Chain A
């Protein structure tokens, strides 16, 4: 795979499947969406066809504000996998979205040592292939 700028992208690319296509298509438009069950109202992340709370298939997408706070994080100093080893150190984080779900991400655009739990962050979109944009976060 090559990035839009033609360089090779070595990190893991997500598999876009029938359960998650809407999520990835929204990200490619630089929008972050979560799912909400139209029967029981539960929001869920990651996206899947049936609501795990009530098993309803009636689902709607809700566009997230992109604002959140850091729930937890780790500064990664060692990862031998291609792509990641060239990006060390990087911040792996779990972010609480304002919409009430948690997702794994990276906190970027700041010194890794500056990241704190509870820090307000906002989404940005990293275009890694023509089909895949990843939701990452920076200090808000």
Chain B
């Protein structure tokens, strides 16, 4: 039994806030749920499947209480910032399998107003592999920098090529009234910005903002009667990469596993895709993800990302909202990838609308690219 093309995203809402010291994370979850349900034309009483992450080990129960939900299906997936992309995949399986009818996915965070130092706040040592890494001082940005340095060594990738990714995201953000950073930047600006962990400069790194969002999914059949054109889940897959037995190729990121499987399940190829949403925690994340998804061969991500190809008007517009590099990044960005893809496939993306956008590829990365990370790919189709 295939689950593909049987379920759809029917409600999507991105909380407009980027800095909310006057709000709690649960309040952002609740306001986002209200927005996504209104977008779908459903009520909170319709929800019987609940999906969230980033709320503490058993926080999904507290959040269910906060929203007075009584779901018959719960999923508190915890694989880093990609968790919310994973929620959509799991919701598709749950709905197609009859375990729930209306799935609500919510996210809320006040990481910026609480002044969390995420990327450079050091690491934590709780589980076995951590004890062989944390003593040496890896930061999150440092973990991604290990991959960037190796990519440069093996393939001649340059800081200028990485910088072009940041410049493109900023150009997209300049068209997004909610984006946190909207002033144009140049390749020279990125390279002149402070080195955080070589070869990654400050402007190679995503920001920390506040924010949140929500999604509503249901069956394709029920979706036909709802307010907005459905965005069908055509295919998807997950992966985790780690240090193996101490032999891992750091450039073989999770997208190399989840991407081809997701495309095969959807029955489409990278060449069919109209736009792509990629977790841009760092510029190197975009470059390696595009290789893994199959948009270009391994090693060619630098050249592929240059020359305007991934910008609006290019062959493969990526992160049309401005991404985590320039629009928002409250610590776990996965939900915004699906929200912006939904806007694009509905034709609601306004000044950043990709013309004739019918097929979108979404890929979330979670965790630390050079140590342990997850990858979740979703292929979404408009009608």
Contacts and interface: CB of A to CB of B under 8 A. Distances in A.
Given A81-B122, A102-B247, A117-B150, A76 B139 contact: yes
Contacts of B142: 74, 76, 79, 92
Nearest to B127: A15
B224 interface: no
B134 interface: yes
Interface residues of B, number: 42
Contacts of A14: 125, 131-132, 134-135
B149 A45 contact: no
Contact of A104 (B136, B139, B141, B245): B136
A102 B132 contact: no
Given A92-B146, A101-B245, A78 B135 contact: no
Interface in A81-130: 81, 84, 87, 90, 92, 94, 100-106, 117-118, 128
B186 interface: no
A30 B358 CA distance: 61
A42 B122 CA distance: 32
Contacts of B141: 78
Contacts of A104: 132-133, 136, 138, 371
Contacts of A138: none
B243 interface: yes
Given A48-B128, A71-B150, A117-B150, A80 B198 contact: no
Nearest to A47: B132
B197 interface: yes
B246 interface: yes
Interface in B116-157: 117, 120-123, 125, 128-129, 131-139, 141-142, 145-150, 153
Mostly helix, strand, loop or mixed at chain A's interface?
Answer: loop
Nearest to B134: A12
B136 A106 contact: yes
Nearest to B198: A75
Contacts of B122: 12, 79-81, 84
Contacts of B121: 79-81
Contact of B137 (A48, A72, A76, A94): A76
B212 interface: no
A131 interface: no
A44 B245 contact: yes
B153 A117 contact: yes
Contacts of B148: 74
Contact of A12 (B123, B150, B153): B123
Interface of A: 11-15, 17, 19-20, 34, 42-46, 48, 52-53, 71-81, 84, 87, 90, 92, 94, 100-106, 117-118, 128, 134, 136
Interface of B: 117, 120-123, 125, 128-129, 131-139, 141-142, 145-150, 153, 194-200, 243-248, 250, 370-371
15 contacts: A15-B125, A46-B132, A48-B128, A72-B147, A72-B149, A74-B145, A74-B198, A78-B139, A84-B137, A87-B137, A92-B138, A103-B132, A104-B132, A104-B133, A134-B135
Given A53-B245, A101-B246, 20 more contacts: A12-B125, A12-B135, A44-B246, A46-B132, A52-B245, A72-B153, A74-B146, A74-B149, A75-B198, A76-B197, A77-B195, A79-B120, A81-B137, A84-B137, A92-B136, A92-B138, A101-B245, A102-B243, A104-B133, A104-B138
